């Protein structure tokens, strides 16, 4: 026992030193583990924050994609739209065909007859944004139209899609609703805040005019029936000598003919054929042969 105590006494300083080294090692191991856990957590948070920022940036980019500022009264677009509405007001099928892409004679007749109680159009402003591809445009038109026997002009707003044709001229694209990609793009652009404001302003202006003109409201609610009754049906003119047929078909019997410049009363439309009044009866002329 005395030998053990003597050994302890002789080696105490070494024992204390060894214990101290052990404690230091334990502290180092615990510290390293703690630091590793902190670094891991920080790295994870950094990755998550980076992912969130990237997602936010993507969302912002998607939103900004359709937030291009409106262009007002671009000279080329303004000229195109004014030509279109002038042709529509004049019931000029040839002029309409020159500014609207791929129009058939039936399209022309339907467009002319759609609002035949309107006597004229006055384009005020044309607003535009870039279209889906280069050389195309989403166009918004602020205009007024006049009705027969009504002095007040009616404010209106419309949307069109304009493309650049092979010869470099601008054309209004018809039937955009049948092209899903273009239709979706137009919807996104139209949902821009600046475009929604244009629609809202146009609606407010229309409501103000209607509220201050009761006769105009009655007239418009009647879809221009009073004008149609007083002014009769639309007339068109033969471009050249052509046959008048009993039915809307080249196989139908020829019951007469028109000379260049002859004016006929239009009763309706059947496909590419125009129904006319001829010698007191209904007859048909191929639409492309009439102005």
pLDDT, tens digit (0-9, with 9 covering 90-100), for 215-257: 787 777 765 444 444 444 578 888 888 899 888 888 788 898 8
pLDDT at 81: 97
Whether the CB-CB separation of 161 and 187 falls below 8 Å is answered with: no
Structure-model confidence comparison of residues 30 and 54, the more confident one: 30
Under 8 Å CB-to-CB from 99, ≥6 apart: which residues? 80, 83, 84, 87, 171, 172
Considering the chain, what is the average pLDDT of its residues? 79
* Secondary structure tally for the chain: helices H, strands E: 8, 12
Alpha helices in the chain (DSSP H): 2-65, 75-89, 93-99, 105-114, 180-190, 193-211, 214-221, 225-231
Q: pTM, whole model, 2 decimals?
A: 0.59
């Amino acid at each position: 026992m005395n030998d053990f105590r003597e050994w302890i006494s002789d080696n105490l300083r070494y024992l204390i030193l060894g214990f101290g080294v052990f404690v230091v090692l334990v502290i180092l191991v615990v510290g390293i583990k703690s630091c590793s856990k902190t670094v891991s957590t920080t790295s994870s948070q950094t990755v998550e924050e980076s992912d969130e920022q990237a997602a936010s940036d993507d969302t912002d980019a998607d939103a900004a994609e359709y937030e291009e500022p409106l262009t007002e009264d671009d000279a080329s677009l303004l000229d195109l739209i004014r030509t279109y509405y002038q042709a529509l007001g004049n019931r000029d099928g040839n002029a309409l065909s020159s500014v609207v892409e791929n129009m058939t004679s039936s399209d022309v007749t339907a467009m002319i007859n759609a609002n035949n109680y309107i006597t004229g159009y006055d384009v005020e402003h044309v607003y535009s944004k870039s279209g889906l591809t280069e050389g195309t445009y989403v166009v918004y038109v602020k205009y007024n139209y006049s009705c027969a026997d009504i002095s007040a002009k009616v404010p209106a707003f419309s949307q069109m899609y304009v493309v650049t044709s092979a010869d470099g001229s601008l054309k209004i694209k018809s039937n955009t609703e049948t092209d899903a990609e273009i239709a979706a793009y137009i919807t996104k652009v139209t949902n821009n805040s600046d475009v929604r404001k244009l629609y809202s302003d146009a609606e407010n202006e229309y409501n103000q005019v209607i509220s201050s003109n009761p006769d105009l409201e009655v007239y418009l609610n009647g879809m221009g029936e009073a004008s149609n009754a007083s002014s009769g049906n639309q007339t068109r003119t033969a471009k050249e000598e052509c046959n008048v047929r009993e039915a809307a078909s080249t196989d139908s019997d020829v019951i007469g003919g028109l000379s260049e410049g002859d004016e006929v009363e239009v009763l309706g439309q059947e496909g590419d054929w125009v129904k006319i009044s001829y010698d007191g009866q209904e007859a048909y002329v191929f639409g492309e042969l009439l102005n």
